[in-house]
């Protein structure tokens, strides 16, 4: 894995790079937007860790340029600006994740691994779990060769479960993935309704949404 870190706080950046190196991750450091653009001109990256406040401008300008150029490289915003408005602005411009300073190195590495994994899955034409064939690109699914009729919420929930196959996701995390920053009129228990709907669609197929009490849900083949 090769990462570009755009950060002008040298001691922080060097600490991150040292930790990443011990995990086998190569990390280039750009202290300015100009440096970042020079790096990207000659090197492809699996992900970008991007600060907002930089000496020659806002990191959001680089993010905007990347997305305008159809560059889908995963971007993790890493900044002391951690208000809801700051997060919403970055996410609306195409950021994939957001981590405020100060942060735990282990969480940073875990988030980077998740971003890179999701991007690899996005590039796959299909993900297969037994009789279920899922297309991440348009969030469509077939079961035993027949197209599944999914609502937007059902498709979003299925997408989260499949992208985290084998791991239990809490009701709260699933709720956030469906509603995000929306001013939703439904509570977190609405997830139970969508889980029940998906289970009904999967009945008898060998594909199951499993529950672990007080932990959450995961999708896998029926045990």
Task: Give residue-wise pLDDT tens across range 134-185.
Answer: 987 778 999 999 999 999 889 989 988 997 888 888 888 888 777 754 545 7
The three-state secondary structure class of 69 is: coil
User: Does pTM top 0.75 for this prediction?
Assistant: no
> Could you count the other beta carbons within 10 Å of the beta carbon of residue 196?
10
pLDDT in tens, 39-56: 998 888 989 999 988 999
Q: Which of 210, 205, 182, 215 is nearest to 195 (CA)?
A: 210
Burial class (CB in 10 A: 0-12, 13-18, 19+), 161: buried
The answer to whether 59 touches 74, Cβ cutoff 8 Å, is no
The distance between the two most distant Cα atoms of the chain, rounded to a whole number of Å, is 59
Please give the Cα distance from 135 to 180 (Å, whole number). Answer: 22
Question: What structural domains and CATH numbers belong to the chain?
Answer: 2-122 (3.40.50.2300), 125-221 (1.10.10.10)
pLDDT in tens, 18-32: 988 888 888 999 999
């Amino acid at each position: 894995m090769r990462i570009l870190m755009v950060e002008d706080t040298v001691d922080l950046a060097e600490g991150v790079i040292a930790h990443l190196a011990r995990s086998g991750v190569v990390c280039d450091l750009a202290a300015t937007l100009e440096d970042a653009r020079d790096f990207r001109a000659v090197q492809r990256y699996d992900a970008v860790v991007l600060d907002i406040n930089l000496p020659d401008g806002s990191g959001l300008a680089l993010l905007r340029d990347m997305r305008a150029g159809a560059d889908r490289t995963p971007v993790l915003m890493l900044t002391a600006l951690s208000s809801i408005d700051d997060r919403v602005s970055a996410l609306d411009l195409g950021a994939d994740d957001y981590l405020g300073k100060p942060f735990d190195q282990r969480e940073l590495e875990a988030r980077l691994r998740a971003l890179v994994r999701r991007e690899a899955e996005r590039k796959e034409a299909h993900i297969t779990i037994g009789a279920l064939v899922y297309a991440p690109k348009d969030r469509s699914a077939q079961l035993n060769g027949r197209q599944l009729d999914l609502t937007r919420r059902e498709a979003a929930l299925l997408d989260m479960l499949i992208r985290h196959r084998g791991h239990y996701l809490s009701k709260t995390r699933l709720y956030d993935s469906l509603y995000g920053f929306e001013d939703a009129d439904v509570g977190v228990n609405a997830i139970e309704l969508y889980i029940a709907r998906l289970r009904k669609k999967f009945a008898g197929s060998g594909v199951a949404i499993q529950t672990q009490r007080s932990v959450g849900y995961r999708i896998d083949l029926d045990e």
